[in-house]
Amino acid sequence: MSKISETAADKPHKEIILEYYGAIRESRGLSRESVMTCAEDIDELFKELASQNLIPYPRNILSVAINDEFGSFSSVIKNGDKVVFMTPVAGG
């Protein structure tokens, strides 16, 4: 399990599952990991991941899903959630 945030002690830690697909999976070299975070919403989680270069894409091109349903960057994160960041799909 990875620890991606060491923020204020007054914020509760949550264990979440991050799943990766496509270009993000290729850049991370794995498809799934469990992380501990103090992030309260997807925006805070994205900032934590981006600050450590774990998501090497700008926020404005990403979509997000929480527990297999599309969400937004303002969606609240709860302990045990599964979060997926997705890049646009290119066809040819």
The domains of the chain, with CATH numbers, are 2-86 (3.10.20.30)
Q: Which is more confidently placed, 65 or 3?
A: 65
Task: Give the integer Cα–Cα distance in Å for 86 and 84.
Answer: 6
Looking at residue 1, what is its pLDDT?
57
Sign of the CA dihedral with 34 first, then 20, 61, and 64 last: negative
**88 or 17, which is more confident:** 17
pLDDT tens per residue across span 12-68 = 899 999 999 888 898 889 999 999 999 999 999 999 999 988 888 999 999 999 999
pLDDT for the residue 56: 86
- Residue 60: per-residue pLDDT: 94
- Distance from the Cα of residue 60 to its chain's centroid: 14
